[in-house]
Amino acid sequence: MANDYERARLKMVDEQLVARGIKDPRVLSAMGRVPRHLFIEEALRDRAYGDHALPIGERQTISQPYMVALMTEALELKGSERVLEIGTGSGYQTAVLAELAARIYSIERIAGLADKARWVLASLGYRNVAVKIFDGTYGWKDQSPFDAILVTAGSPEVPPPLLEQLKEGGRMLIPVGDRTTQVLKKVTKTPAGVEQSSLTGCVFVPLIGGHGWVAENA
Ligand code: SAH
């Protein structure tokens, strides 16, 4: 069983990541190590290493492996960084970041998801991760500034508090667009000002909060 998951994981790295141009060896080996199936409910585990997002409850999703790799690679982590993540969800992306940087601060607005993610991360032995239940559009001021910020929900704009909490020289990856489709933006803070580039089109669940979208009750 464990071997089957490992085989599926290495196949995912080759066929979905390397084949599509992900090059950073640290990102590839982290995603070859993190047991993605343990962040997913048992009934869906057979599909854990497939080329797609999957439901994680509360109408939220764990991102497609390629999107996790693309965003992580673009953060250019070397190992010493303090990273802020908005949208802990299952905690899978958090674990990948924890393999690659010094300290991860992750914020999730849904308590049930945050609790589950904390439990899985702790059971896998990640000690460099803190998960907080909060509206991440305000960032985590006490722990700022951050070398890198990763937002894994779609936002109408770059939330100003997140830009403030990014170090000079720091990188932020954030999907910006409407409630259903977005463009993945890389925002870099330089001495000359803020630079933005667009990486790809993408589909994330909405970022809900003070500097995001209003919650829908349905
Ligand atoms: N990175 C996650 C993907 C989670 S989906 C994973 O690997 O599983 C996006 C998550 O963002 C959802 O769990 C959603 O509840 C959360 N979210 C949406 N708006 C938020 C906000 N303002 N602050 C924190 N989390 C938010």
Phi and psi angles of residue 53, each rounded to the nearest 5 degrees, phi first: -75, 165
Ligand 1 nearest-atom number relative to CA 90: 8
State the total domains in the chain. Answer: 1
Does residue 46 lie within any of the structural domains? no
pLDDT (0 to 100) of residue 185: 98
Helix, strand, coil share (%) of the chain residues, nearest 5 = 35, 30, 35
Does residue 147 lie within any of the structural domains? yes
Does residue 71 lie within any of the structural domains? yes
Q: What is the pLDDT along the chain (218 residues), one digit of tens a residue?
A: 679 999 999 999 999 999 999 999 999 999 999 999 999 999 999 999 999 999 999 999 999 999 999 999 999 999 999 999 999 999 999 999 999 999 999 999 999 999 999 999 999 999 999 999 999 999 999 999 999 999 999 999 999 999 999 999 999 999 999 999 999 999 999 999 999 999 999 999 999 999 999 998 64
DSSP secondary structure letters along 48-108: TTSSS-EEEETTEEEPPHHHHHHHHHHTT--SS-EEEEE--TTSHHHHHHHHHSSEEEEEE
C-alpha of residue 152 to centroid of ligand 1, in Å: 6
Does residue 133 lie within any of the structural domains? yes
* Pocket (CB within 6 angstroms of ligand 1): 56, 60-63, 86-87, 89-90, 92-93, 107-110, 113, 135-137, 152-153, 205, 207-209, 212
pLDDT (0 to 100) of residue 52: 97
For residue 167, what are the domain limits? 53-202
123 assigned to active site: no
Between CA 144 and CA 122 the distance in angstroms is: 23
Asked if residue 38 lies in contact with residue 49, where contact means CB atoms within 8 angstroms, the answer is no
Ligand 1: residue of 67, 71, 110 to mutate (most ligand atoms within 8 A of CB) is 110
Does residue 36 lie within any of the structural domains? no
Instruction: Say if residue 65 is exposed, middle or buried (CB neighbours under 10 Å; 0-12, 13-18, 19+).
Output: buried
For residue 75, what is the domain's CATH number?
3.40.50.150
Ligand 1: residue of 58, 86, 99 to mutate (most ligand atoms within 8 A of CB) is 86
Does residue 15 lie within any of the structural domains? no
Does residue 5 lie within any of the structural domains? no
| The overall pTM is greater than 0.85 | yes
Does residue 20 lie within any of the structural domains? no
Q: Is 21 left (phi over 0), alpha (psi -120 to 50) or beta?
A: left
Asked if residue 22 lies in contact with residue 69, where contact means CB atoms within 8 angstroms, the answer is yes
Ligand 1: residue of 202, 207, 213, 214 to mutate (most ligand atoms within 8 A of CB) is 207
Of 29, 63, 106, 123, which one is the catalytic site residue?
63
Between CA 121 and CA 71 the distance in angstroms is: 20
Going by alpha carbons, the residue nearest to atom 2 of ligand 1 is 89
